[in-house]
Amino acid sequence: MNRDDLSKQWQMNLAEVRGQYEIGTLTETDMNADPFVQFAEWYSDAESACRYFPNNMILSTVDDSGAPFSRVVLLKTMDDKGFVFFTNYNSRKGQQLQSNIAASITIFWPELERQVNISGLSEKVTAAESDEYFVTRPRGSQIGAWVSNQSEKIASREILTQEKDRLEELYLDRKVPRPPHWGGFRILPSRMEFWQGQPDRLHDRLEYALNEDKWALKRLAP
């Protein structure tokens, strides 16, 4: 099979992938005045409905040339300021967020036919917040935070295994400290859109926009 044949096959296969969204509707009267509360309510629904990782979210950042990058990360906490995830600060996403603090996150819960898109600015969480979360991680994940120079080129997986073995021996009888290059980012939203799938692609989209410390709600065309 050559590339032209492959392209034709994919065009045919993907064109046949169809479905209707039918679970629920979303009206302005359904929405809490506070989008953080609304998100918490939806997340609670997702915890009950979703079998795997309801906290999966797509984080989008841009590099210095304006090129976008997206990847899945795990939402680890939400507070009255924003949404927090943790990473290696020297990773591609870590460097991009330190160079350009604008970011967006998208969470899709297919079991509920719901999506939330959040955009705004980012900030590092405090060292104390990173420490507090780090101690809750499984020991293997704590070691892993030291092992990987995330996003850097490596010659083989064996290098990671050897470094993991070395660090496990080093910290055999003591606590694993948090690496100074590892910690959290908080996304501070200025816009939060709640999406509910509807039949015939006439989806419900309700958007909160922050204006002078007040959230204004409006409906968007699907």
Respond yes or no: is residue 201 known to be catalytic: yes
Give the pair of three-digit tokens for residue 64: 């210095």
Catalytic residue among 3, 157, 174, 201: 201
Tell me if residue 76 falls in helix, strand or coil. Answer: coil
Q: How many residues are given for the chain?
A: 222
Q: CA nearest 204: which of 193, 189, 214?
A: 193
Q: Which of 57, 38, 5, 13 is nearest to 194 (CA)?
A: 38
Q: What is the largest CA-CA distance in the chain?
A: 60
Rounded to an integer, what distance in angstroms lies between the CA atom of residue 123 and that of residue 51? Answer: 31
- Residues that are catalytic: 201
